[in-house]
């Protein structure tokens, strides 16, 4: 027969068995940890790329804003350049008038003030007389025989002056080139 002691189970023994069973279960599978690490790495990479993209966007828009501000008056300046040409022609025709003439002095004063204002806005005249022909800054109107050998392929005369706005050509110089 069975012993009465054998049928009765020790409650402490059951609790220990339960603890052993629970402790044998893994907390997380290694694959799940690797997956979470991979997802974290991908998220970190996406964040870094997004941050870099936003930083590039800020720099690009700041640069575009500066360029826009620098060239904002380009249209107005282009419309004023014929006035500068008219001043040049007027002063050329006034070359025979004596220097002490009040009208000539007044025209020269206004001309110099106007040119100084354009310079403050970033407008510069392109110097081309005697320089080799450069299609990036000049437009050849005609070719004529060069008066000397050293003037071949160089600018002999300027029909219309060229101008730069913040080192960008806004009007090409129209020139006569020696051949």
Structure confidence by residue, pLDDT tens digits, 7-40: 555 555 556 555 555 555 555 556 888 999 999 9
Mean pLDDT over residues 138-154, rounded?
Answer: 90
Residue 84 exposure: Cα atoms within 13 Å on the Cβ side: 22
pLDDT: is 10 or 62 the higher one?
A: 62
Q: What is the mean pLDDT of the chain?
A: 85
> Residue 132 has which token pair?
């080799």
Closest CA to 128 of 155, 152, 88: 155
Q: Report yes or no: 153 and 145 within 8 Å, Cβ to Cβ.
A: no
Q: Could you read off the pLDDT of 90-117 as tens digits, one per residue?
A: 999 998 899 889 999 999 999 999 999 9
Helix (H/G/I), strand (E/B), else coil: 129: coil
The DSSP line for 42-54 is: HHHHHHHHHHHHH
Note the pLDDT of residue 1.
47
Residues in the chain: 179
Helix (H) / strand (E) containing 177: strand 173-178
Q: Report yes or no: 153 and 106 within 8 Å, Cβ to Cβ.
A: no
Q: How far apart are CA 62 and CA 14, in angstroms?
A: 73
Note the pLDDT of residue 75.
86
């Amino acid at each position: 027969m069975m012993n009465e002691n054998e049928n009765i189970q020790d409650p402490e023994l059951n609790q220990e068995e339960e603890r052993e069973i629970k402790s044998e279960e893994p907390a997380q599978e290694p694959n799940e940890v690797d997956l979470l690490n991979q997802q974290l790495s991908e998220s970190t990479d996406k964040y870094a790329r997004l941050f870099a993209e936003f930083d590039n966007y800020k720099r690009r828009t700041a640069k575009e804003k500066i360029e826009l501000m620098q060239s904002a008056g380009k249209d107005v300046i282009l419309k004023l350049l014929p006035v500068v040409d008219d001043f040049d022609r007027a002063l050329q025709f006034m070359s025979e008038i004596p220097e002490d003439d009040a009208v000539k002095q007044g025209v020269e004063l206004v001309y110099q003030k106007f040119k100084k204002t354009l310079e403050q806005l970033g407008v510069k005249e392109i110097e081309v007389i005697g320089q080799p022909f450069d299609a990036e800054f000049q437009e050849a109107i005609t070719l004529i025989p060069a008066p000397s050998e050293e003037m071949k392929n160089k600018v002999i005369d300027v029909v219309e002056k060229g101008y730069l706005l913040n080192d960008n050509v806004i009007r090409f110089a129209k020139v006569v080139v020696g051949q």
